Amino acid sequence: MSRTNDVTSIFLAAGQDPDLINLAGGLPEPSVWPVAELADLAAEVVRDHPGETLGYGPIPGLPALRDLIAARFSTPETQLSRDNVLITTAGMQALELTGKVLLEPGGVIAAQSPAYLGALDAWIPHEPRYRPMKPGSNDYDPFAALDGAQFGYTVPNFSNPSGRLVTLAERRELVAAAHATGTWLIEDDPYGVLYYDGTPLPRMLHLSGAENPGPYDGPIIYMGSLSKELTPGLRIGWVIAAPEMIAAMAAAKQGSDMCTAGLSQMLALRAFQRRIPERILPKMLETYRARRDALCDAMRDHLADHLDWQVPAGGMFVWATARDARLDTDALLPRALEHGVCISPSSVFDPEGRDRRSLRINFTLNAPDKLQEGARRLARAIRALLEETP
Ligand SMILES: Cc1ncc(COP(=O)(O)O)c(C=O)c1O
């Protein structure tokens, strides 16, 4: 754990400066949170359910919440029961527990590349080796990547950091590879509701369930979270997987936190029952879609000479790649901070730390005028860096 990441420390510290435009994090817009309704629900559940909210609870989660998640994600072909569901202390714990359960020291993870920084951090103690999977690239072969790996890791909906949507054909191929190789495959899905364009693609969990209809016991380890759908502070997530995997992860969870906070679980249960995530979704999508468009318009105005990117159809990030090979995005970070804007350089999403050609830009936290100013400042920082680079 002594292997700290300097770049991460810089941008976390920079987030404290009020004059800085922070395009580095992956934070939601707080005005979409249903604060008054959640406050009333919190008072109600503590008063009416002191045992569940204030006492220790069962390690795998409150039975009623596990049942609700099982029903919510069941389809005619993929039948889920409580035994398929583990409630976790948000998505980060689900990632950490998978490492505890599956990773032997130095084992191989076949990970979609570039990869979510938090997942890389969660698995550092096991010192894994990585086999990159780049759907869409010429040498992409999910069978070869998953064969002999301890597990595969993917974020099919608007990956963090790349914003990429894994296509239906690629999802089918990944599921087929997991079934053929017998390798567990994580489908990490915090952005699954954040589609701004198009119709949501089927989850790999359901594509896998359709191969053997009935009670689910396939190789997909699906991870959901309330962090983007409702609020991150509740720290509620869930894993849906074969019962044997859920039992192993529950055993590992005992040594992590004994149980996820009962108050948060009861709030999540009531929020789902009252359809709060569904009610706040339209405003969230409208806000984030407008911000995505504002950022991409501003990038076209100010950054098109320096960066290439694709407009993401959902999620929270634009991934941009430098046109000029001299533009090292680790070197750009301190220049950007001097110009009052913060971005995430690609090196932090590469287990080897070698990719210095791209950057991740978040569009959900800032209003359109701030995004425009952020793009302007970033363009100035890039020009300054290129002028001083031979
Ligand atoms: C791909 C991915 N997985 C998991 C997480 C973890 O989120 P949380 O622990 O808040 O559920 C994040 C957070 O940004 C993420 O982007």
What residue spans define the domains of the chain? Answer: 6-26+278-388, 37-274
Amino acid at 242: A
Taking the C-alpha atoms of residue 155 and residue 139, their distance in angstroms, rounded to an integer, is 19
Residue positions counted in the chain: 390
223 CA → ligand 1 middle, Å: 9
pTM: 0.96
> Which pLDDT band holds residue 2 (cuts at 50, 70, 90)?
very low
Average pLDDT of span 254-274: 97
Taking the C-alpha atoms of residue 37 and residue 99, their distance in angstroms, rounded to an integer, is 36
Instruction: Please name the fold of domain 37-274.
Output: Aspartate Aminotransferase; domain 2 (3.40.640)
Q: Which two tokens stand for residue 283?
A: 């405003």
pLDDT, position 112: 96
Q: Which two tokens stand for residue 53?
A: 């909210």
Decide: 288 in ligand 1 pocket, CB within 6 A.
no
Taking the C-alpha atoms of residue 390 and residue 386, their distance in angstroms, rounded to an integer, is 8
116 CA → ligand 1 middle, Å: 8
pLDDT, position 300: 98
Taking the C-alpha atoms of residue 336 and residue 91, their distance in angstroms, rounded to an integer, is 30
92 CA → ligand 1 middle, Å: 6
Q: What's the CATH number of domain 6-26+278-388, 3.30.360.10, 3.30.70.141, 3.90.230.10, 3.90.1150.10?
A: 3.90.1150.10
pLDDT, position 12: 66
352 CA → ligand 1 middle, Å: 21
Say whether pLDDT at 234 is over 80: yes
Encode pLDDT of 312-348 as tens digits: 999 999 999 999 999 999 999 999 999 999 999 999 9
Rg (CA), the chain: 21
Contacts of 176 (CB under 8 A, 6+ apart): none
Contacts of 323 (CB under 8 A, 6+ apart): 305, 306, 307, 308
Decide: 90 in ligand 1 pocket, CB within 6 A.
yes
pLDDT, position 390: 81
pLDDT, position 17: 80
Decide: 188 in ligand 1 pocket, CB within 6 A.
yes
pLDDT, position 5: 60
Taking the C-alpha atoms of residue 20 and residue 337, their distance in angstroms, rounded to an integer, is 8
The mean of the pLDDT values for the chain is 95
Say whether pLDDT at 15 is over 90: no
